[in-house]
Amino acid sequence: MITAPSRDPLEFQPHAEREHGLMLRLPALVHHAQTAPGWARILQGVNAHQVNTRDALSRLPVTRKGDLKALQDASLAAGKGPFGGLNTTQVAQLARLFMSPGPVYDPEGRGEDWWRVSRALRAAGARTGDVIHNCFSYHLTPGAWMIEGGARALGCPVIPAGSGQTEQQVQAIAALRPRIYTGTPSFLKLILDKAQETGADVSSLQLALVGGEACPPSLEAWLHEHGVSGVFQWYGTADIGMIGYQSARPSDPQRANPGLLIDEDLIVEIVRPGTGDVVAPGEVGEVVVTSFNADYPLVRFGTGDMSAVFAEPSPCGRTNLRIKGWMGRADQTTKVRGMFVHPGQVDLVVRRFPEVARARLVVEGELANDNMTLRCELRGGAVPADGLKESIADAIRDLTKLRGDVSFVAAGSLPNDGKVIEDARKYE
């Protein structure tokens, strides 16, 4: 009989100890990653021994979710496997292979709780023996498998329900009486609606660990009103597994603390979209993850998701950093007069002018009659030097092949939403 402990002391260690431990593990991770041909190329010339601080890490290139398809296509075309050469474990030694929309291929290794979801289940209040009704899909994509791994480690029986077949799901819940729902919050609403319609008793469902989409406060409140007293969010991706999770409030264990605690086996950075530059604490940017996974190590993997560090420590006593929830997608690539403009191009413009602290390219007007302006904050609120505006405009034309205006705004006046490119065009 399995009885999993109800808490992991790692989550409660002083943050400095965690940080020290992660930094100690970094050189070995980089070294291990470099044994895979894909990472060997990306991290060419990097001395793994020297990557032992956040600062050293922040100088390594960011490999973005959006880059994976090209890496994988090249690797497949060369007959070198589906994972772009980023896997350190050979395909034959893996547990499962997935295909996510794109298509992008993802591996699962054989280690216990490979996606690290047991931590999220436990923090939400799941205990050994609790039955889980798992409504993520098991087919082709890894969502459901993340829950499977966590449930197995915790000793929770699973109803592998998948998505769809709402009526049968309600029937299964009424008979098998799971305590925990896992899946998207909107599908849980569908289930509760269907149960109300058919009169089925689904009151066994008390706790929901929801993910895969945002869970707005209105939906959370609706779920509470309909009998699911605890609604906890987790955030993960098909490449990394669990990244962040909510914990219960000490004062009310059926309610979640705001923000998402970072998993213990990851290093998370928030960077300016299109760059590898870490933003100031609290500023919105792209979630970049370094994962110590033994089969599929990731060194500065750009998720394409936006979030921000949440400064205060969690009232539950867990000491790791928290991030805000999902705040949109980082990929702000847009088309202006038929030409693609990437956040990386904006960054290249800014880099030419050390006096520019932050910038935001705003595209306005209507399609086919649009114009773009680079709004710049100067360091220390300085007054722009003569000719700076024209020099920046030249750089824009040089790097984007498009004409753009330049304006200077007060330091701190650009919105904190992580946007490097803002598309403010009218589409109606």
Chain contacts with a second copy (rule: CB under 8 A):
1-2, 76, 82, 91-99, 103, 105, 110, 128-131, 137-140, 144-145, 152, 155, 157-162, 164-165, 168-169, 171-172, 175-176
For a second copy, the closer CB: 25 or 152: 152
- Least Cβ distance, residue 405 to a second copy (angstroms): 44
Cβ 253 vs Cβ 386: under 8 Å:
no
Closest contact distance (angstroms) between CB of 311 and a second copy is 40
What are the distances in angstroms from CA 411 to CA 351, 356, 392? 17, 10, 18
- Chain center to CA of 167: 32
Q: Which is nearer to a second copy, 99 or 219 (CB)?
A: 99
* Spatial distance between the Cα atoms of 383 and 280, rounded to a whole number of angstroms: 23
Distance CA 401, CA 68 (A): 27
Contact 201, 236 (CB under 8 A): no
Beta-sheet strands, E only, within 109-198 = 132-134, 158-160, 180-183
191 φ, ψ (degrees, to nearest 5): -65, -45
139 or 351: CB nearest a second copy = 139
Closer to a second copy by CB, 296 or 310: give it: 296
Give me the torsion for CA of 106, 36, 305, 292, rounded to 10°.
Answer: 100
In single-letter form, the type of residue at position 210 comes to: V
Residue 127 has φ and ψ, to the nearest 5°, of -130, 160
Least separation in angstroms between CB 30 and a second copy: 24
In this complex, which beta carbon is closest to a second copy, that of residue 130 or of residue 422?
A: 130
Minimum distance between the CB of residue 237 and a second copy, rounded to whole angstroms? 18
Which tokens in the block code for residue 340? 């693609």
Residue 366 has phi, psi (to 5 degrees) of: -120, 160
Minimum Å gap between C-beta 80 and a second copy is 12
CB of 62 to a second copy, least distance (A): 25
Size of the chain in residues: 428
Judged by CB, which is closer to a second copy: 98, or 245? 98
Q: Which is nearer to a second copy, 113 or 377 (CB)?
A: 113
Q: How far is CA 138 from CA 74, 143, 148, 162, 265, in A?
A: 28, 7, 10, 6, 25
Which of residues 159 and 207 has its CB atom nearest to a second copy in the complex? 159
CB of 297 to a second copy, least distance (A): 18
Helices vs strands, H then E, count in the chain: 11, 23
Pairing state of beta strands 298-307 and 309-310? unpaired
* Least distance (Å) between residue 138 CB and a second copy: 4
